[in-house]
Amino acid sequence: MRKAAALASAAMAAAAVAVVSTVLYQRQRRAAKRSERAVEAVLLRDLQERCAVPVELLRQVADAMAAEMRAGLAAEGGSDLQMLVTYVDSLPSGDEKGVFYALDLGGTNFRVLRVQLGGKERRVIKQDSKGISIPRHLMSSSSHELFDFVATALAKFVASEGEDCYLPEGTQRELGFTFSFPVKQTSIASGTLIKWTKSFAIDEMVGKDVVDELNMAIRRQGLDMKVTALVNDTVGTLAAGRYVDHDTIAAVILGTGSNAAYIDHAHAIPKWHGSLPKSGDMVINMEWGDFKSSHLPLTEFDQELDAESLNPGEQIYEKLISGMYMGELVRRILLKMAREAAIFGDNIPPKLERPYILRTFDMLMMHHDTSSDLRTVANKLKEVLGIEHTSFTTRKLVVDVCEAIATRGARLAAAGIYGIIQKLGQHSDIPNRRRSVIAVDGGVYKYYTFFSQCMESTLSDMLGQELAPSVVIKHVNDSSGVGAALLAASYTIA
């Protein structure tokens, strides 16, 4: 009996100890959770404060942008902004007629286009295009092989034409060439390659005239075609914007990368030593991704991303506002929160440590999630990062991180546009001032609705109630290739 009582007493004591242990463990877990949530809140608040861009700061960024623009126009190498003279002094008027072609080469794919123009009355009658992938081995082979591949695609595209694209015998086809790599232009239809980007590495091509290389490849195909205009994607967007709205003064690309081009008075370009163009104007390719300023709100995540990038110290502005980098910034922030606040549990998700796995497209999908339980966020975390189970609180945190990065990027992009308007002297309160249109293209602007709306509202705030109605942001879809064809038409007529 005594032995049984003792055993029962021991069992009860053990059970009590177990209960107490469980209660203590649960309390510790709750305390740990509260501590983790507190750390989450601190990290998020710190991020939001560091990414904050009030209007006063935006004006300083815009002032710095305008100052760098002037310095870049004054002398070669005078600014981080290259402010490249494009030799485009005549933009489409709408009078252009005929069939014109474009080649849009700016990455691992290129497009060939054919545009039939009918003048002011009929405008763009017909447009056809074909996209082609470039085999990876050609991206590091030789200029001869690369341009032969491109010219072969052009020849096949022309061979497939119907009778509606008939050109009179002896008429040479005119081609606008959008080449979105750094080039030093020497005329409207010539320019030497400064360097390759975007995984291209054909060293023997650097310093060569890209138009000469393409024209020779076209001749090897027996095709009667020549390059009439060499442009980059931003200048093409400006041309397309001017074609649909004569009040277009500038163009901005907000996509994987970012850049801007605008129309300036030739006499306002001190480094221009040629004769003044008849129009008195010149299109300037800013290469604004290279903009730097002490006023840019850089965080530890921006500094780490830049240091580990292929071009440290370069393209700082682009790394804050473009599709190539915003998703990666979100990944880096979430990784720090996972390490310091265990937002995804005790273990760090292995995929979260993989650079550039989270694209800006994934970021915008999560940010745009309007479902009551943020189901899209949960699905994206699982699909992209392999994170199976997340609480609503964690999903909301992810949305807040996306919003901090997107808001900063959109507001800084608006400051850049305001800087251009300021440089042109169109930011003053002048009665009956002329309407000014900014043509915009690129996937970030087109698909990231929050970003585009935030950018436009920020620009309106900076302009003020009196001036905002006279500045219009206009989306010009799929513009770079069409713009090149339009410029080919302009310079054929000229």
Q: What does the pLDDT look like over 426-481, one tens digit per residue?
A: 655 554 568 999 999 999 999 999 999 999 999 999 999 999 999 999 999 878 88
233 is catalytic: yes
Q: What mean pLDDT, rounded, does the chain reach?
A: 89
Residue 17 lies in a domain: no
Q: What are phi and psi of 33, to 5 degrees?
A: -60, -45
CA angle 174, 177, 179 (to 5 degrees): 175
Pairwise CA distance, residues 398 & 327, whole Å: 12
> Which of residues 356 and 139 earns the better pLDDT score?
356
What pLDDT sits at residue 23?
47
Residue 344 lies in a domain: no
Query: Are the beta carbons of 391 and 373 closer than 8 angstroms?
Result: no
Instruction: Tell me the three-class secondary structure of 263-285, residue by residue.
Output: EEEHHHCCCCCCCCCCCCEEEEE
CA atoms within a 13 Å half-sphere pointing along the CA-CB vector of 450: 20
What pLDDT sits at residue 165?
66
Instruction: Tell me the three-class secondary structure of 27-87, residue by residue.
Output: HHHHHHHHHHHHHHHHHHHHHHHHHCCCHHHHHHHHHHHHHHHHHHHHCCCCCCCCCEECC
- pLDDT > 90: what percent of the chain? 66
443 contacts: CB under 8 Å, gap ≥ 6: 254, 255, 256, 323, 361
Pairwise CA distance, residues 175 & 486, whole Å: 10
148 is catalytic: no
> Which of residues 43 and 28 earns the better pLDDT score?
43
Partners of 179 in the β-ladder: 105
What pLDDT sits at residue 282?
95
pLDDT digits (tens, 9 = 90+) for 244-274: 999 999 999 999 889 999 999 999 999 998 8
Domain of 487, in residue numbers: 86-245+477-491
Pairwise CA distance, residues 36 & 331, whole Å: 19
Residue 116 lies in a domain: yes
Range in 4-8, 51-55, 327-331 the model is least confident about: 4-8
CA 353 to chain centre: 24
What pLDDT sits at residue 25?
46
pLDDT digits (tens, 9 = 90+) for 8-41: 566 565 555 555 455 444 555 554 455 557 778 8
Residue 257 lies in a domain: no
What pLDDT sits at residue 277?
86
Pairwise CA distance, residues 154 & 131, whole Å: 11
pLDDT digits (tens, 9 = 90+) for 121-171: 778 888 888 999 888 889 888 899 999 999 999 999 998 877 666 676 767
Pairwise CA distance, residues 207 & 158, whole Å: 30
Domain total in the chain: 1
- pLDDT > 70: what percent of the chain? 89
Residue 237: strand, helix, or coil: helix
Query: Are the beta carbons of 204 and 132 closer than 8 angstroms?
Result: no
Q: Residue 115 sits in a domain of what CATH number? A: 3.30.420.40
Residue 8 lies in a domain: no
pLDDT digits (tens, 9 = 90+) for 294-313: 999 999 999 999 999 888 99
- Choosing from 80, 89, 209, 233, which is the catalytic residue? 233
pLDDT tops 60 at residue 387:
yes
- Choosing from 33, 198, 271, 396, which is the catalytic residue? 198
Range in 98-107, 114-123, 364-373 the model is least confident about: 114-123
pLDDT tops 60 at residue 376:
yes
- Give the mean pLDDT of 358-377: 97
Residue 369 lies in a domain: no
pLDDT digits (tens, 9 = 90+) for 178-230: 998 888 888 999 999 988 877 688 889 999 999 999 999 999 999 999 999 99
Residue 76 lies in a domain: no
Nearest to 177 by CA among 190, 196, 158: 190
Residue 179 lies in a domain: yes
What pLDDT sits at residue 85?
92
